[in-house]
Amino acid sequence: MTPRGEGCVRAGLGLTSQVMVPSGHLATTPPTAAASPAEIDTVTLGDLSSDSGWRRPVLLDRELIVLTTGGHGLAEVDFRSLPCRPGTLLRLRTGQVLRCALPQLDATVVRWQPEALYGLDVVDDDVPTWVQLAGEDEDAIINEVSQLTVDASRHRDTRAARSLLRHQLGVLLLRLSMLPTRTGPPSRPEDETFRRLFREVERGYQATRRVEDYADRLGCSVRTLTRACLAITGRSAKQVVDERVALQASRLLAATDEPVARIGRHLGFTEATNFGRFFAREVGMSPGAFRAACERPAPPPVVRPRPPLDIGVDIRRT
């Protein structure tokens, strides 16, 4: 999972009636239709943050592809620093946090709402967070991104234009999903069990941290889930669940101004003291200290959440 867990999680505090506003607080009413962002668009890396110094991470409210076009530097994704140079591609998910080293990096960013892919036979779960493109793959993907960028700026928001951009995005994601991968270990019976648990935790981590609840939902025993987690991650099922909660807490502490107690409540902690003890145990520092450390200029704090398990993400690709 990517501070621990990854996947398509809802940004903010998991409340479907709330949206992020520039201050990092939550608005209690949805934006009007006129204010809704484009379904698919392209921007520069600097456009992602209102702070040119990126003094704090940005909580992503859309799906992203970031293609580095110039410079050398680091992109910090969910508190993990990834090296970037021309040809580096990042596939980032809604709800992750991102901080970049500017002006060392230039990049083209493709952004889209998840519903942009509805009706298209595109599954990019196996596209890694980080990949260094090379050869024909690099040429093809750069061409796809370049054409999508041109069309997104040239064509008005018509039905034909939306259809064009959706299909271009679909082709781009399909190309990424077809990139050659390094041969991993043979598939094990525990792999599918762990993937099912991962998906269920993504849906339910705000409501429960009890492994027994996930075992009931999946129709298996706690022992089965623990055996799968130990085989895949070396950690128990309880640790995997707690790490996912710690990830979300870390994201919200780093990228929003929400009070610590409110973050804790939305992650299932009725008492702020219990949330503080949980976070300190998982991350190694108090919520307040973690937030303060994340607001310092890059690089990030030395003490930070342990790198999470990342399903479908292979940072070994070079």
The CATH number of residue 266's host domain is 1.10.10.60
pLDDT tens, the chain, 318 aa long: 444 333 333 333 433 333 333 333 333 333 333 344 689 999 999 899 888 888 899 999 999 999 999 999 999 999 999 999 999 999 999 999 999 876 688 999 999 998 888 888 887 777 889 999 999 999 999 999 999 999 999 987 788 999 999 999 999 999 998 888 755 566 788 999 999 999 999 999 999 999 999 999 999 999 999 999 999 999 999 999 999 999 999 999 999 999 999 999 999 999 999 999 999 999 999 999 999 998 865 544 434 444 444 444 333 333
The DSSP bridge partners found for residue 40 are 112
Flag whether 308 is in a domain.
Answer: no
Flag whether 225 is in a domain.
Answer: yes
Flag whether 303 is in a domain.
Answer: no
Does one domain contain both 101 and 248?
no
Does one domain contain both 202 and 159?
no
Does one domain contain both 110 and 162?
yes
Predicted pLDDT of residue 120: 85
Does one domain contain both 234 and 273?
yes
Predicted pLDDT of residue 287: 97
Asked if the bond preceding 103 is cis, omega within 30° of 0, the reply is yes
Last residue of one domain, picked from the residues 119, 142, 177: 177
Predicted pLDDT of residue 244: 96
Does one domain contain both 122 and 162?
yes
Flag whether 309 is in a domain.
Answer: no
Does one domain contain both 173 and 217?
no
Does one domain contain both 37 and 136?
yes
Does one domain contain both 164 and 197?
no
**DSSP track, 120-165:** S----TT--SEEE--HHHHHHHHHHHHHHHHHHHHS-S-HHHHHHH
Does one domain contain both 221 and 273?
yes
How many C-beta atoms lie closer than 10 Å to residue 259's C-beta? 12
Does one domain contain both 153 and 220?
no
What whole-number distance in Å separates Cα of residue 6 and Cα of residue 38? 25
Flag whether 264 is in a domain.
Answer: yes
Predicted pLDDT of residue 102: 66
Flag whether 14 is in a domain.
Answer: no
Does one domain contain both 196 and 283?
yes
Flag whether 127 is in a domain.
Answer: yes
Predicted pLDDT of residue 303: 40
What whole-number distance in Å separates Cα of residue 221 and Cα of residue 282? 25
CATH number at residue 80: 2.60.120.280
Does one domain contain both 94 and 232?
no
How many C-beta atoms lie closer than 10 Å to residue 98's C-beta? 22
Structure tokens, 261: 């107690």
Flag whether 162 is in a domain.
Answer: yes
Predicted pLDDT of residue 297: 57
Domain of 93 in residue numbering reads as 19-177
Task: Specify the number of domains making up the chain.
Answer: 2
Predicted pLDDT of residue 318: 37
Predicted pLDDT of residue 3: 44
